[in-house]
Amino acid sequence: MHFNAYGGNAALLAAALANLDDRCDARMVETLLAEHRVARAELTGEQFEVLRAWCLPLWEAFAAPSAGERVAAVNRLLADAAARPYVSTHDGQPPHLHYADEHADVVTRVRAATAAGLALVLTETDPCRLGRCGAPGCRTVFVDVSRNGRRGYCSRQCATRVHVSAHRDRKRQR
C-alpha cells in the first residue's frame, strides 16, 4: 500500500499517539514526534498535556465502528485542529502540503497534521484502513498498510493468540 508520504506519515503518527498509555512522559512523546519527522518537537509541560488530551479523539477515530462514524470523527478532528492546508517549499524541498504554518507551535502542527493525515487515508484509500485490533482486550489501533487491506490485528502476537485460542476451543469441543 502506498500513501502520500506526508499524509501517510501523519496517519502513522496519529496511530502512534492514539496508542500511548498513561505511563508515557513528555520525553517519550518528543522521541515519538522526532521519529515521525516532526520538526522542533520539544514540548513544554502544558503542550505535553494538550497532546495527551488529543490522543483520545485520535483513538476514537480509529475505533469508530463504521466508515460513516470514522468520517464524522475525522471531521471533528479537522475542525478542532483548524487545519489550513497550504503548499510549502521550505529547505529547498519540492512543493508539498503543510496543514499548519511551519512556524506554528508543535501542538498546532501535530494536531493539524494528524487530523489531515487521517483525512487523507479516508479519502485516498479506504475508511477501513483505519482499524482497531480485533483481539479481545487489546485497544491498539493501526493504519492498515497491507496490500489487501484486510488487517484485523495490531500485531502477529495478537493474531496468533486469537487463532491459538480458537484452535484450542475447537479441539476441546471435539
What are the domain boundaries of the chain?
5-127
Residue 4 has what pLDDT?
52
The string of pLDDT tens digits covering residues 78-102 is: 999 987 888 888 778 889 888 888 8
Residue 62 has what pLDDT?
96
Residue 127 has what pLDDT?
80
Q: Which residues neighbour 6 within 8 Å (Cβ) at sequence distance 6 or greater?
A: 96, 97, 113, 117
CATH fold, domain 5-127, is: Jann2411-like fold (1.10.3300)
Query: What does the H/E/C string look like for the chain?
Result: CCCCHHHHHHHHHHHHHHCCCCCCCHHHHHHHHHHCCCCCCCCCHHHHHHHHHHHHHHHHHHHCCCHHHHHHHHHHHHHHHCCCCEEECHHHCCCEEECCCCCCCHHHHHHHHHHHHHHHHHHHCCHHHEEECCCCCCCCEEECCCCCCCCCCCCHHHHHHHHHHHHHHHHHHC
**Regions of the chain with pLDDT less than 70:** 1-7
Residue 93 has what pLDDT?
82
- Separation CA 147–CA 50 (nearest Å): 35
